[in-house]
Amino acid sequence: MDKLTIQARPHAFSYQPNTSALIVIDMQRDFIDSGGFGESLGNDVSRLQKIIPAVKRLINGFRGVGITIIHTRECHLPDLSDCPDAKRYRGNPGLRIGDPGPMGRLLVKGEPGVEIIPALAPIPGEKVIDKPGKGAFYHTDLQEFLQDQHIETLFFAGVTTEVCVQSTMREANDRGYFCLLARDATESYFDVFKQTTIDMIEAQGAIVGWTATVDDILTSFHA
């Protein structure tokens, strides 16, 4: 199969659709909706809601050409045995991971807050990875899944840019995957962190990976 090319930053990005996958990071109610984990940390969740249409367009585009789609959700076992104290007992939030909130226990598997928002819900056949860490490779079967599917290139979208998205891109980069982040399909609670993360990823000749807009990516399908 011929390679496709995206007008990406810091320079053009080539990939083969049949060895590519889109990873949509943590577009779950706990980060996007009011009353979840993100808001419990003092964040304005409306910032993240603004990217929903762009993420939807990206997912629909990948579905349209049959490229593998993976969704992740950050969550812990109900007994919190996979939530280290260093993660739970930090800062002074009103609620901690595992505490009951308006959408169930924060970041606990099976609770309503862990569900991916309905607008971006996975469809049958799309893989959903529950991850206890910020990176999606840590304590998950992501690496085995990608190897089984012969995936070489990963496209990224989701939240938050500098936390779970960047951690996962760095893990992927170290494992040898070509990585591209959809700049307008990711968001942070902090404007400066989003921009700085994108700058860091692209710097030094794509030290972590490439970035492009959703339009740039979708255009490459029909070149």
Binding-site string for ligand TIU from residue 183 to residue 222, where x marks contact by CB under 6 A and - marks none: ------x---------------------------------
Closest CB 151 distance from ligand TIU, rounded Å: 21
Is 23 a binding residue for ligand TIU by CB under 6 A? The answer is no
Could you tell me where the DSSP H helices lie in 149-213?
166-174, 191-206
Binding-site string for ligand TIU from residue 40 to residue 79, where x marks contact by CB under 6 A and - marks none: -x--------------------------------x-----
| Chain Cα centroid distance, residue 102 | 24
Rounded CA-CA distance 18/162 in Å is 28
Q: Is 215 a catalytic residue?
A: no
Do the beta carbons of residue 1 and residue 17 sit within 8 Å? yes
Neighbours of 186 (CB within 10 A): 26
Is 163 a binding residue for ligand TIU by CB under 6 A? The answer is yes
Q: Is 131 a catalytic residue?
A: yes
Q: Which of 164, 184, 194, 216 is catalytic?
A: 164
Neighbours of 182 (CB within 10 A): 26
- Among 24, 55, 159, 172, which residue interacts with ligand TIU (rule: CB under 6 A)? 159
Per rule CB under 6 A, count of chain residues that contact ligand TIU:
10
Do the beta carbons of residue 196 and residue 203 sit within 8 Å? no
Rounded CA-CA distance 181/95 in Å is 31
What SS3 state is found at 210? strand
Is 164 a binding residue for ligand TIU by CB under 6 A? The answer is yes
**For binding to ligand TIU (CB under 6 A), which residues are involved?**
26, 31, 41, 74, 134, 159-160, 163-164, 189
Active site members: 26, 131, 164
